[in-house]
Amino acid sequence: MNDPVPMDIFITAITAPTPSKSYIETSCTAGFDRNGNWIRVYPVPLRKLSKNQSYRKYQWVRFDTFPPSGDIRPESRKCNHDSIEIISDVISNWDERKKICLDNGQKIYTDFNKLLEEAGCRPIRTSLAVFKPTRIIGCTASDIREKDIQENLSKQKEILMNYQPDLNFSDDDRDFIQAEPPRINLRYRFQDSTGKVHALSVLDWEAYMLYRKIRQKGGSHEKAKADTVAKYMSFIDKNDVYFFLGTRKEDHMKGFGQPFSIIGVFYPPKTKEQIEKEQGQGFLDLD
């Protein structure tokens, strides 16, 4: 194996966890290096990290990284999760976040088909992107099929029993891992700069945890579903919304026509000038 390459990454997106034979479950983390380049690191068993390694969005984090095998996406790196080191507090100031995420040489896409062309073009194969929708039409959530939920639960339990017999899990760990997953597929529907309308699933860790928190507090599925949609709808009117997009590995590898999902939502508050301009244009009419 090649020597590890330390990378400082400003975390902008963390996906909901997926089952893993090696780590029970992993989350994909993405963000920007010091030069404004997109980097994806995996696998990260986020919920099993030690307290001093458990990072959040908008922190600088140092990873030891390696070239991945079997991944054509140029932004991807494997990481040694034991090496994770948090090197900053959470940056809460939106102006500072914008300097790192939008004003450090990043390409900001507005034409979704142009992005798809790059994703399918060798050797570019763009798999992470900042996308600025021209108009967000709305956010919805559909129910995930019961069959798919049960298959996912069975896979998690199989992994827990057969692949990780020596790990020292607490009862809380086991309950968390085997708990019922979210039952919704959250999606944004939006218009790009060409006027075309698209819909993309939201795989954001924060949406996953919001749904879960409501259910854990005794809320019904319908309440958790409605509250999650309401939270992501609340960004539209008062915030300058950008999507952080990432491709699903298998779909990208197989040349699937549309491999992108929304892995994070970036929503700095709108400036006074933006609000006045949009009100004058009737921009906020979403009917």
* pLDDT over 50 at 198, yes or no: yes
Burial class (CB in 10 A: 0-12, 13-18, 19+), 2: exposed
User: Residue 225: enclosing H or E segment and its boundaries?
Assistant: helix 221-233
pLDDT band at 186 (very low <50, low <70, confident <90, very high): very high
Cα–Cα distance for residue pair 173/233, rounded to 1 Å: 32
Quick one: average pLDDT of 29-54?
Answer: 89
Is 63 in the same domain as 203? no
* Domain, as residue range, for 67: 5-104
pLDDT given for residue 171 in this prediction = 58
Tell whether 68 is covered by a domain.
Answer: yes
pLDDT given for residue 145 in this prediction = 80
Is 28 in the same domain as 69? yes
pLDDT given for residue 146 in this prediction = 78
Is 35 in the same domain as 116? no
pLDDT given for residue 103 in this prediction = 95
Query: pTM here?
Result: 0.87
Quick one: average pLDDT of 223-239?
Answer: 94
- Residue 254 three-state SS: coil
Question: What is the total count of domains within the chain?
Answer: 2
Give yes or no for a contact between 194 and 113, defined as CB atoms under 8 angstroms apart. Answer: yes
Tell whether 154 is covered by a domain.
Answer: no
Is 255 in the same domain as 203? yes
Tell whether 158 is covered by a domain.
Answer: no
pLDDT band at 80 (very low <50, low <70, confident <90, very high): confident
Tell whether 137 is covered by a domain.
Answer: yes
| Cα–Cα nearest to 80, from 173, 159, 188, 4 | 4
Q: To the nearest whole number, what is the mean pLDDT of the chain?
A: 86
Give yes or no for a contact between 61 and 41, defined as CB atoms under 8 angstroms apart. Answer: no
pLDDT given for residue 287 in this prediction = 47
Tell whether 202 is covered by a domain.
Answer: yes
Is 92 in the same domain as 135? no
| Cα–Cα nearest to 205, from 253, 244, 164 | 244
- In CATH, what number is assigned to the domain containing residue 41? 2.40.50.140
Tell whether 160 is covered by a domain.
Answer: no
* pLDDT over 60 at 72, yes or no: yes
Is 92 in the same domain as 137? no
Tell whether 45 is covered by a domain.
Answer: yes
Of 154 and 270, the one with more pLDDT: 270
Tell whether 287 is covered by a domain.
Answer: no
Is 81 in the same domain as 100? yes
Residue with tokens 């950008």: 242
Is 33 in the same domain as 139? no
pLDDT given for residue 170 in this prediction = 58
Residue with tokens 């929708």: 133
Is 80 in the same domain as 43? yes
Quick one: average pLDDT of 209-221?
Answer: 91
Is 97 in the same domain as 140? no
| Cα–Cα nearest to 266, from 26, 96, 62, 42 | 96
**What are the residues facing 109 on neighbouring strands?**
131
Give yes or no for a contact between 56 and 89, defined as CB atoms under 8 angstroms apart. Answer: no
pLDDT given for residue 39 in this prediction = 97
Is 19 in the same domain as 83? yes
* pLDDT over 90 at 243, yes or no: yes
Is 83 in the same domain as 135? no
Residues of the chain with pLDDT > 90, as a percent, come to: 56
